[in-house]
Amino acid sequence: MLIVQKYGGTSVGGLDRIANVAERVARAKKEGNDLVVVVSAMSGETNKLIEYASYFSKTPSRREMDMLLSSGERVTAALLAIALEEMGVPAIAMTGRQAGIRTDASHTFARIEEIDPAAIQDEIKNGKVIVVAGFQGINEHGQVTTLGRGGSDLSAVAVAGALHADACEIYSDVDGVYTTDPRIEPKAKKMDFISYDEMLELASLGAKVLQSRSVELAKKLGVKIVAKSSFSEAEGTIIAKEQEGMEEVLVSGIALDKNQARVTLRKVVDRPGIAAEIFTVLANEQINVDMIIQNASSDGMTNMGFTIPQSELERAKKVIGGFNKDIGGMDFDENVCKVSVVGVGMRSHSGVAALAFSTLAKNNINIEMISTSEIKVSMIINEKYGELAVRTLHDAYQLDK
Ligand code: ADP
Ligand code: ASP
Ligand code: MG
């Protein structure tokens, strides 16, 4: 078998843990498999590098951020290859570029466009374990790019797809995908199986056990993912195509995203094209806008509210500042979070959203914004009630049963 394994930050969070990963890899190799191992930076490393940059600038160049952030994964890739060699397992570490990972030009959240697997395939033929530095690639101008936070998951799925691997195993500190973050709700239940679509919603709504783009790509390429723990031998969760009978599960999980900020623009001059202009400059800055609300206008003025990732707030302030002629005033609230209920069964059942709203109401939690799709209900609330909301919703939908 050809197996792609990905080890996240906690799994390579120290030298002893890298040694543990080396043992697991060596074991899979001895069982007769070919292995490509994708690694993250040591846990906390990427955040530390971001903080270093913020010492100098609130809005550092995205290109330089990629130069900086891609270094964390190189360190662990090389260390794991050294550890494997020392155990008598031939290994070679590769950067994203060396592994043939080509991306578009969007620094700090580049999309993978193509993988040229030739170099990896050559080294597999030489009998080596290939250790790929996750989270990074190269664009057509030869510049290093990174793939967005949690992006090593995407590296792993893309490599698995390009190599037509027999398995794509993603190892972290949890032994699978749970009905909600088990750190918030200890009663959360592990799922044996979850469909791409539900996982995609959970992941894009904050369940960071898998990066949402990796799930999107897995669905597109038909790569079956198994989410497992590097600290145990437990079975894990399979993420694959929806199966017959799944519609019977009404709600499969609750997600919490604390990386949210709300922007409110007051007294916006209400003329055709104003929304287009504002959201175009945000898009040009590659700021991902979510949950837009515009009030009915009065006296030719309107109010607009929307949410963005908290980490993009400084950039957003800078570009919206350019509209001061058209906007009466603006507020920014970082103390919000998004709590979401996800399930494919919502397509065919009513009352799911109503139960979410009444559950929060019973707990005196005010809902500031709402958005829904076929298979999710998301609510923006005050950040301090985020975890309470997760637990009470988990109870209300009886996810512990
Ligand atoms: P890694 O660093 O290995 O990529 P992450 O920290 O990105 O791992 O993801 C694992 C974490 O995801 C867990 O520690 C857990 O707290 C969190 N998590 C959030 N939602 C869920 C969920 N529904 N199921 C499992 N883990 C979840
Ligand atoms: N090190 C990167 C991050 O922390 C990528 C990853 O861990 O997947 O976001
Ligand atoms: Mg992760």
134 belongs to a structural domain: yes
| 132 and 270 together in one domain | no
In which domain, by residue range, is 126 found? 2-173
Amino acid identity of 34? D
- Tell me the CA distances in angstroms from 121 to 68, 160, 266, 384, one per residue in order: 28, 12, 57, 50
Give the per-residue pLDDT at 247.
55
Would the CB of 38 count as within 6 Å of ligand 1? no
What average pLDDT does range 132-139 have in this prediction? 98
239 belongs to a structural domain: no
385 belongs to a structural domain: yes
- The residue contributing the CA closest to ligand 2 atom 9 is 149
Cα-to-centroid distance, 150 and ligand 3 (Å): 4
CA distance 35 to 125: 11
Cα-to-centroid distance, 359 and ligand 1 (Å): 25
Which ligand number lies closest to the CA of residue 311?
2
- pLDDT grade, residue 144 (50/70/90)? very high
Mean pLDDT of the chain: 95
CA distance 351 to 361: 15
pLDDT at 244 over 80: no
Instruction: Determine phi and psi for 152, rounding to 5 degrees.
Output: -65, -30
CB count in 10 Å sphere of residue 195? 21
CA distance 379 to 297: 24
Cα-to-centroid distance, 148 and ligand 2 (Å): 8
| 169 and 263 together in one domain | no
Give the per-residue pLDDT at 400.
93
Total-model pTM: 0.93
265 belongs to a structural domain: yes
| 169 and 275 together in one domain | no
Strands annotated E in 241-398: 253-269, 290-294, 301-309, 327-342, 369-373, 376-382
CATH number at residue 122: 3.40.1160.10
Last residue of a domain, one of 173, 193, 221: 173
pLDDT at 392 over 90: yes
246 belongs to a structural domain: no
Give me the residues near ligand 3 (ion), CB cutoff below 5 Å: 8, 150
Give me the residues paired with residue 290 across strands. 307
Give the per-residue pLDDT at 47.
97
Cα-to-centroid distance, 393 and ligand 3 (Å): 24
Nearest atom in ligand 1 to the alpha carbon of residue 8 is 3
194 belongs to a structural domain: no
Who's near 315: CB < 8 A, 6+ residues apart? 59, 285, 287
Who's near 369: CB < 8 A, 6+ residues apart? 262, 291, 293, 305, 307, 379, 380
Give the per-residue pLDDT at 219.
97
Amino acid identity of 349? H
pLDDT at 7 over 90: yes
Give me the residues paired with residue 137 across strands. 145
Would the CB of 177 count as within 6 Å of ligand 1? yes
- The residue contributing the CA closest to ligand 2 atom 6 is 150
pLDDT at 396 over 90: yes
CA distance 21 to 6: 10
State how many domains the chain has. 2
User: What sign does the CA torsion over 47, 52, 53, 57 have?
Assistant: positive
Ligand 2: which of 45, 70, 73 to mutate, judged by most atoms within 8 Å of the beta carbon? 73
Last residue of a domain, one of 173, 191, 223: 173
Last residue of a domain, one of 122, 141, 173: 173
- Tell me the CA distances in angstroms from 226 to 177, 190, 209, 215, 384, one per residue in order: 9, 13, 12, 11, 33
Give me the residues paired with residue 263 across strands. 306, 332
User: What sign does the CA torsion over 295, 297, 299, 303 have?
Assistant: positive
Cα-to-centroid distance, 134 and ligand 2 (Å): 8
Percent of the chain scored above 70 by pLDDT?
99
Identify the residues whose C-beta falls under 6 Å from ligand 2.
8-9, 40-41, 46, 72, 134-135, 149-153
CA distance 24 to 71: 24
Q: What tokens appear for 36 in the block?
A: 């490509």
